[in-house]
Amino acid sequence: MTEPVQMDIHRIMQLLPHRYPFLLIDRVTECIPGETLTGIKNVTVNEPFFSGHFPQRPVMPGVIILEAMAQATGLLAFATAGTPEDDTLYYLVGIDKARFRRPVEPGDQLVLNASLTRTRRNIWMFGATAEVNGEAVSSAEMMCAPRSNQN
């Protein structure tokens, strides 16, 4: 069995190409390559999307929650396949069965869970969930595929 690993923001930034304001994972608390990853996103009122969504009651947009879950799947893919020697990126190629169960607001800590379900013809398939205080807020099936950033 592979030993679980953690990732701080510095390691996350080595693996993901995202930067402010679009880097949506603050820390990986546990990763078992080839199996699962758990990460966190601390949601603050200073997030740029809150000023317009919605001014009277800030709510994290569902597409941003999905992006945070997708970034968790990307980190799991890198942890599983190893850091590529070239500039390969894992691109999101599909989302199925996306569900939203409750709003995410400033002050919430989003716990992101990704699990690798299978790979087929260079497509990686994942189950992903987001929780706040142990309560599910979103779930989806996600697919990504590696591709050279030079194309």
Question: Looking at residue 110, which CATH number applies to its domain?
Answer: 3.10.129.10
Per-residue pLDDT of the chain (151 residues; tens, 9 = 90+): 678 899 999 999 999 999 999 999 999 999 999 999 999 999 999 999 999 999 999 999 999 999 999 999 999 999 998 876 667 788 999 999 999 999 999 999 999 999 999 999 989 999 999 999 999 999 999 999 988 777 5
- Please give, one letter per residue, the 3-state secondary structure of the chain: CCCCEEECHHHHHHHCCCCCCCCCCCEEEEEECCCEEEEEEECCCCCHHHHCCCCCCCCCCHHHHHHHHHHHHHHHHHHHHCCCCCCEEEEEEEEEEEEECCCCCCCCEEEEEEEEEEEECCEEEEEEEEEECCEEEEEEEEEEEEEECCC
Number of domains observed in the structure of the chain: 1
pLDDT at 85: 65
pTM: 0.94
**Active site members:** 53
Segments forming the whole domain that contains residue 32: 5-148
